[in-house]
Structure 1
Amino acid sequence: MKKAFLQLHLSVFLAGFTGILGKLITLNEGLLVWYRLLLTTITLFIFFRWQGTFKKLHWKDILPIGSTGVVVALHWLFFYGSIKYSNVSIGVVCFSLTSLFTAIFDPLINRRRFDVAELLLSLLTLFGILLIFHFDTQYRTGIILGIISAMFAALFTVFNKRLIRRFDTHTITFYELSTGFVVLTLVMPVYLHLFPSATLLPSVPDTIYLLILAWACTVCMYLLSMAALRKISPFTVNLCFNLEPVYSIVLAFVLFHENKYLNNAFYAGLACIVLSVILQMLRVAKGKTAG
């Protein structure tokens, strides 16, 4: 269990940089996600072939894995849209609602009883988001996009929990992200027609940021998080990922000086979110939940 929590928190730390990179990369959210999936898929294919761990699957097995990949592509699309329409701090804090959606989706999908404690902790997170939601109307579009992103993130984790019982994490990661890339490629002409971009090719700085995003914040992060999922519940995984805003916000304050645009309601909401994480960790440490 200790190894699983170490893997989980390392993946959360890496995830904390995704929002920063989303702000630094000048491409729109659609192209950003497309390049992230392209670079990640190529990297995983080379890496797994070199390791000898690449496995070919029947299309009946690829279908459930691939559909989960489409979910994660949608999560990324709305997540970066949230950042583009608001800022890093708002986008990553909205991601904290993932725990609330998980507390609802996991029992419904896996047919288990609702956990009252999970729901109460999630409501504490929701209260924090509501405090933030009302502090400035100019960020509401970004907040709405961030909430939708959290919904897809919760579905992704719940579906992955079921998949890792049948397949190894390497196979799941590759087929999920490669399918997400194929589907996004098919819809990109329509997307770019609706949301045109000044350029289709990344600049040199954008290319560097995209490589960091693909290699460190995608390949490493997802392999670590899915390894942790073997011993830790989806709810706890998503609740731990609520620490992602802490890392991202600190970096955003240092790099972009976003603290100038945030007020006391934001900090009060963030405090509620951090408290919900601490309380869940205490529950796990005391053995009141299976993790």
Structure 2
Amino acid sequence: MDRLFHSKPKLKNYLHLHFLVFIAGFTAILGELITIKAVPLVWFRMVMASILMFLYIKIAKVKLKVSPKAIIKFSLAGIIIALHWITFFGAIDASNISITLAMFSTGAFFASFIEPFIYKRAIIWYEIVFGVIVIIGVFVITQSEFKYINGIVLGILSAFLSSLFAVLNGSFLKQHTATVISFYEFLSGVMFISIYILLFGGGFSTEFFNLSASDFGYLFILASICTAYAFIASVYVMKLISPYTVVLTYNLEPIYGILLAIMLFPEKEKMTPEFYYGAIVIIATVMLNGIIKNIRTLKRKPS
């Protein structure tokens, strides 16, 4: 009975983790359902998420005071995550969910080169091998789905920005809480996109704020559940489950997303067999990379 009692919280945490991964995959579905373009979409997402995060900070009495140097770092990361989301939703507009999520899986390949640069460690040989395999997977998809080349390029760029953001955020979490980091990142992202809209996007007209009821509803789900809640909850889960399990589970995001897309948008998401061959190569390589990293980490730990 005692063992069962202790296993329940653990099972609850694993289910919570998979729910968060499902939410991550569902983000792409919302990107397809929302009718406005990528730039205003991300602006509304970050504004709504900032407001919700601020309310949480007030209720939880979280202290926001950080050094000016930290604010500059968070602001840079905020711009990166804003660009990641813009290219991500832009990729969906230019192609479809399946292409975007398959390209998003290349993020682990980019992380294997970004991490050594940020954390000053040597590049691991097998990561280069896996990187080459990932490139082959991308090549197979590109050859079979060349009509979606713009979406493929945007998806790869989105994956690079996501990896850069994740590595930077990992270094921030050593000194600051996820809530504080996310709040400043969202604010800086809003400011960055606002400046872009004012200078190059025609400004904030009445038409800009004229959202349909469905778009507003989907945006609220995106900002509340898929952004504010997911950001805070993912860090909480990382404290209860091993980083390896978290990373490996999050690699299921494109699988969840692609399966959802096929069920919800069967006509638009119908792809060639070569696409699925390439996607399987990319996703399997990313998961294998996670498994090998975990084995190496366990071997380095003193017995």
Q: Which residue of 1 aligns with 2:278?
A: 269
Structure 2 letter corresponding to 1:289:
T
Q: Distance in 1 between matches of 2:215 and 2:111?
A: 33
Deviations 1:40-60 (A, max 9, x none): 000000011101114222322
Change (3 A) 1:127 1:175: same
* 1:69 aligned onto 2:78: yes
Q: Distance in 2 between matches of 1:191 and 1:134?
A: 34
What RMSD over aligned residues (CA atoms) do the two structures have, in Å?
2.7
* Contact 1:12-1:221 at 8 Å conserved across structures: no
Scaled by the length of structure 2, what TM-score is found? 0.85
Q: Distance in 2 between matches of 1:222 and 1:80?
A: 18
Report sequence identity in percent. Answer: 33
Q: Distance in 2 between matches of 1:46 and 1:112?
A: 39
Q: Which residue of 2 aligns with 1:289?
A: 297
Structure 1 letter corresponding to 2:274:
A
Q: Which residue of 2 aligns with 1:96?
A: 105
Q: Return the offset for 1:117.
A: 2.7
Match of 1:232 among 209, 234, 243: 243
> Rg bigger for which structure?
2
**50-59 vs 261-270, greater mean Cα deviation:** 50-59
Q: How does 1:1-291 map to 2 (within 5 A)?
A: 9-193=18-202, 200-227=209-236, 232=243, 240-258=249-267, 261-283=270-292, 287-289=295-297
Change (3 A) 1:156 1:273: same
**96-105 vs 47-56, greater mean Cα deviation:** 47-56
Q: Return the offset for 1:191.
A: 4.0
Q: Distance in 1 between matches of 2:263 and 2:188?
A: 36
Q: Which residue of 1 aligns with 2:4?
A: none
5+ unaligned residues in a row in structure 1: which ranges? none
**28-37 vs 169-178, greater mean Cα deviation:** 169-178
Structure 2 letter corresponding to 1:124:
I
Change (3 A) 1:284 1:112: closer
Number of aligned residue pairs: 286
Scaled by the length of structure 1, what TM-score is found? 0.88
3-state DSSP class of the match of 1:167?
Answer: coil
Q: Distance in 2 between matches of 1:73 and 1:45?
A: 18
5+ unaligned residues in a row in structure 2: which ranges? 1-9
* Contact 2:97-2:269 at 8 Å conserved across structures: no
